[in-house]
Amino acid sequence: MVETLSIAVIGAPGVGKTSIIRQFIYNDFSEAYTPTRTRYVYRPSVILNGNMYELKILDVPPISSFPSSSSQEWLDLRCRGVRNANAYILVYDICCVESFEYVKMIRQQIVEHRESSSSEVPILVVGNKRDLQRQRFMPRRAVSVLVKKTWKCGYVECSAKFNWHVVLLFKELLGIAVARGMRQNHTSIRLQGALQRNRCTIM
């Protein structure tokens, strides 16, 4: 039996959401920007600390706000599955303050709009494009303190371009999700190829 965890990846356009997911699953990166127009679901299987999990990673296209109700979610195809995700990755570009403001707004809306029993959902804030850090708008330490202490979210910086901290961020989020018992359902084991780094293995 394998546990399934759905993870919604949300952020402003162009911050690198698709690049992070594709680097994690396919070890692939493209300099060319192809905006994500429709919701896309990736389903890798991973092993963390000896346990297998099936991930349902939602690459969410730009949305103006977190769906405030189930009916709003069903009316807007881009948001399907977003309200009931087991965990969130909120991505911003460390060189773009507006993309951080967007993450701030979405985090607030997740806390306000999810059912109260699930308000403790794991949220990991990810600062992408670390390779461009000379142009960052705020020191890493200041953002990290704000996100961890005030927002009570995890914080990781990565570079999808250079595959730096990409596996780490998924490992970090999974660790928090599993520790909080955010389990969805059980499905049968499906083994695909294998790629191993650290103790987090993508199957």
3-class DSSP state for residue 202? strand
Query: Total residues contacting Mg ion (rule CB under 5 A)?
Result: 3
When binding is defined by CB under 6 A, the residue of 36, 133, 184, 201 that contacts ligand GDP is 36
Q: Which is nearer to ligand GDP, 114 or 165 (CB)?
A: 165
Site for Mg ion contains 128 (CB under 5 A): no
Tell me 147's DSSP state.
I
Q: Which is nearer to Mg ion, 6 or 53 (CB)?
A: 6
| Contact between 193 and 26 (Cβ < 8 Å) | no
Q: Which is nearer to Mg ion, 18 or 23 (CB)?
A: 18
Least CB distance to ligand GDP at residue 159 (A): 4
Site for ligand GDP contains 166 (CB under 6 A): no
- Binding pattern for the stretch 5-34 against Mg ion, x by CB under 5 A and - elsewhere: ------------xx----------------
Round to whole Å and give the CA distance between 189 and 47.
12
When binding is defined by CB under 6 A, the residue of 5, 8, 10, 19 that contacts ligand GDP is 19
Round to whole Å and give the CA distance between 142 and 144.
5
- Binding pattern for the stretch 77-116 against ligand GDP, x by CB under 6 A and - elsewhere: ----------------------------------------
Burial of 76 (0-12, 13-18, 19+ CB in 10 A): middle
Q: In angstroms, what CA-CA distances link 151 with 125, 147, 156?
A: 10, 5, 14
Pairing assessment for the beta strands 195-197 and 200-202 based on DSSP bridges: antiparallel
Site for ligand GDP contains 72 (CB under 6 A): no
39, interface contact from ligand GDP, Mg ion, none, CB < 5-8 Å by kind: none
Please count the residues of the chain: 203
Can you list the alpha helix ranges (DSSP code H) found in the chain? 17-26, 70-75, 97-113, 140-145, 166-179
If residue 25 lies in a helix (H) or strand (E), which one and from where to where? helix 17-26
For the record, the structure tokens of 196 come out as: 């191993």
When binding is defined by CB under 6 A, the residue of 17, 39, 114, 171 that contacts ligand GDP is 17
Residues engaged in binding ligand GDP (CB under 6 A): 11, 13-19, 30-31, 33, 35-36, 128-129, 131-132, 159-161
